[in-house]
Amino acid sequence: MSVWKLVKLKFGNSPVHFGEVGIGLEESSDRIRSDALFSAWVSAYARLFGKNAVEELLQRFLNSPQPPVRMSSTFIYSQSDGKNEIYYLPRPLKFPINYPDNDLEFFKTYKKLTYLPIQVWHRWYQGEGFTDSDARELIAHTKKEPSDSTALNRAGTFNYNDTSKRAKHPKIAVDRVTAATNLYHTGFVQFKWEQQNNEIRSLSGLYFLLEFPEEDKPLETNLRAALNLLGEEGMGGRRASGAGRFEVEWESSLPDEWQKILNPSSEMSLHCAIGLFWDDDESVLQQLITEKCSYEIQERRGWISGSPSGRNLRRKSVQMFLEGSVFPRPPLGKLADVTPGNFTNHKIYRNGIALSLPIKVKREKISRG
């Protein structure tokens, strides 16, 4: 029986800079995807336990019948009243159960709900589905009018953008040869926090899920130690400026609301990815990419440092399915070898091992010719 863990990253008053494909230095994503999280985590694991230990761990991912752990991407959590926590999940790329055909009055508002509180996510995609009161509340929110329905608002459906703030900080670049200066700006995201006496308290941050195929205390202990080291060093860009530092809160057991999502009361026919997915086996992809699926893909690329010349080298790029993609069966995935051709120090992998949640969606009408 698999073992699930929920891990929270508390950034306090430390800003973050998470680079993303298509986002320039002046902008920052508000979260980090599973492939980037895996890379940063494995790098910290190698620094803490050494080359042999990390190679042994990677071999378990590459050669075992099932990986030692699956991880989701990070998503935002927030404390609405200082006590109750709201966890956001990506909205699946399918309409929820009972979603109406006549949605013109609120579709633009619905489409902007890229992330849903897990209570709403569970109700729409595992429970009773979309209701008439949901439609009325979305219409009222679109028109900025009072609504007799407040379930979505109480759950935090419309408050996602309030969980963090974005800012651009001016920086100066100095040319090493001419000493000429150049002004530029770097984007940062600041999660909500407060100070009580001399204590910094996080009011929002990031979380992710882990699924172990079975209890593995030694691996869990080592992963926790490596993640704590990563928190001290910082994750993402601009770490030299103090960005990306966090404290780790590793939940010993999942809250009841998560248990309901992992163990739905009725049968689910589809699966929604909550981490990036990659596979190069055509037979596997043919079974997943059917008329029942709905997906979004993105080219994942980036740079590595550590070449003998000291130069940064571009990793090989791969196309990956994004979070929210819906498949007719659980996507499994693999590690993708993205080692540059002229890099011989060690192998570089990008994590395409998927993690997904069971869902059911609105039945699509069958068109008849």
pLDDT per residue as tens digits for the range 67-92: 999 999 999 999 866 568 999 999 99
Q: What is the pLDDT of residue 367?
A: 47
Q: Give yes or no for a contact between 28 and 16, defined as CB atoms under 8 angstroms apart.
A: yes
Domain membership flag for residue 41: no
% of the chain residues with pLDDT over 90: 66
- Does residue 277 contact residue 354 with C-beta atoms inside 8 Å? yes
pLDDT in tens, 85-134: 999 999 999 999 999 999 999 999 999 999 999 999 999 999 999 999 99
Instruction: Tell me if 327 is assigned to some domain.
Output: yes
| Residue 149, pLDDT score | 85
Average pLDDT on 232-243 reads: 82
pLDDT on residue 368: 45
pLDDT at 24 over 70: no
In a domain, residue 192? The reply is no
pLDDT at 259: 93
When pLDDT is averaged across residues 195-203 and rounded to a whole number, the result is 88
The pLDDT assigned to 340 comes to 85
> How would you label 159-183 residue by residue, b for 16+ Cβ within 10 Å and e otherwise?
ebeebbeeeeeeeeeeeeeeeeeee
Residue 130's pLDDT is 97
Domain count, the chain: 1
In a domain, residue 348? The reply is yes
pLDDT at 265 > cutoff 90: no
Query: Is residue 292 domain-resident?
Result: yes
Backbone angles phi, psi at 221, to 5 degrees: -65, -45
Residue 251 lies in a domain: no
Average pLDDT over residues 188-217: 92
pTM for this model (two decimals): 0.90
Domain holding 327, by residue range, is 268-363
Per-residue confidence (pLDDT) for residue 115, from 0 to 100: 97
Q: pLDDT at position 369, please?
A: 43
Q: How high is the pLDDT of residue 99?
A: 97
Residue 183 covered by a domain: no
Task: Assess if residue 328 is contained within a domain.
Answer: yes
